[in-house]
Structure formats: C-alpha cells, structure tokens
Amino acid sequence: MQRCYFCEDYMMRSLVFSALIICAIMTYVSFSAPEPAIVPNPGEWTVDVTFSHPRQIVLQPDAPGTPRRFWYIILTLVNDTNQDIDFYSQCDLMTDTFEIIPAGRNVSPMVFELLKTRHKSRYPFLEPLQKAGNKILQGEDNAKDIAVIWPDFDAQANNLQVFISGLSNETVAIDHPVEKDEMGRPIQVYLRKTLELNYSLRSDPAVRSDSDIAYKGKRWIMR
C-alpha cells in the first residue's frame, strides 16, 4: 500500500497548529488572569490546608494481569472561617507533556482501601475525595483528611502540577481570549481561587517505582 505523504504532512501541520493555539491560550490566561486578593473581600473565605506530596501505590490484580500504578496526596482541611462552608472541589494533575488528569478518573475503590490501610495510624478518618461530602463544619474537631488519587501519568513527564480548587469561595470573571457570543462579545470565563503545587520528576521510564519527586513550591492562582 502506497503511503499518502500529503495526508501525513497535512495531519502534522494540523497537530502543530492546534498545539500553537493551545499554547497561545495558556499564555494569554497566564498573563491576563487576575491573582487572588491579598486581603479577602467581605464574605470571602479560604480554608486552612496542609498536604502530603505525591506518592505511588500499586494495585495488584486478583487474577493474572498487569499491576496498576496510581499517585495520591492527602489533604487535611480545617475550617477556621467561623461558619460552616460548602465544599465542591476539583483536583487536577497536569504534566509538562500536556496531559491533564482529573482526580478519581479510572480509579478503583480498592485503591482507596489500600491507602486507608497504609495510613490508618495517622489518618484514621481518611475519606476519598469523591465521598468527602459537600460541607466542612467549623473547627479543628471537624477537620477532614481527604485522599486524592490519580492513575499513573505519562512516563516521559519531567514536571507536574497539582491544582486543588474548592478551598476558597473567591471567584472572578474574565473574557475568553477566543470564544464570543452571538453578539460578538467575549464569553465570560469564571475562575476560582486554586492552590497550585509544583514538582519536578526524575525517573527512568522503564523503572517507574524508582521515580523521585522534588517539591518546587506552591502558590495560589485564579484558574
């Protein structure tokens, strides 16, 4: 069968063009998006959060098969806002190879059971993110320990970021850089105050269990 070099060239050009568009939008957002307020406005709150750094856990299949690798962090949230608050969180993991993975995607409940056993002495009331409920009551006595889990990501990745939203009710609206409504006006994009954790990853893709993660810092952003 003769190869269609024109088709291959067209597909390659399309992929490059799409990648450039994505990079342009990300650059626009990174430079134009507002930063969280230094002093919260009346009615705005942010919970107190501590976190573990990403670790691996491997789920061994009951039947013959390939073990599955997962990554996780544990969040401890304390509501010191003097009011019970709503909690609707989204936790994404993003690699420098442009892979974005929402927490919980393709994660078996058995993975959480393994984590619960592993950490039962330190986190006896550990909950999975998907079942942590939509309220955080006031005070340290009502602190929540939450496991956030992702399936294994691209073995070629050298850097990764974790984005955790739902820790604050601070929001802002900005104009979309490309999308417009029927009147030709930019569509509004709503951003939430989000905790960003940054890591570098040193590993041999062939020996995933030896991956070494280095913490590079955190910051609050609007995302």
This prediction's pTM: 0.82
**Number of continuous H segments (helices) and E segments (strands) in the chain:** 2, 13
Q: What's residue 33's pLDDT?
A: 62
**Cα 106 versus chain centre, distance:** 15
Q: Mark out the alpha helices in the chain (DSSP H runs).
A: 5-32, 109-118
Residue 208 identity: R
54 DSSP 8-state letter: P
Span 5-10, average pLDDT? 48
pLDDT of residue 25: 46
Average pLDDT over residues 93-115: 96
The pLDDT tens digits of the residues spanning 155-204 come to 999 999 999 999 999 999 898 888 888 888 899 889 999 999 999 998 77
Average pLDDT, the chain: 86
Confidence at 64, pLDDT banded by 50, 70, 90: confident
Measured CA distances, 19 to 14, 30, 31, 98 (Å)? 9, 16, 18, 10
Residue 10 has pLDDT above 60, yes or no: no
Measured CA to CA in angstroms, residue 204 lies from 40, 54, 191, 197 at distances of 44, 17, 36, 23
Q: Give strand pairing partners of 58.
A: 69
pLDDT at 40: 82
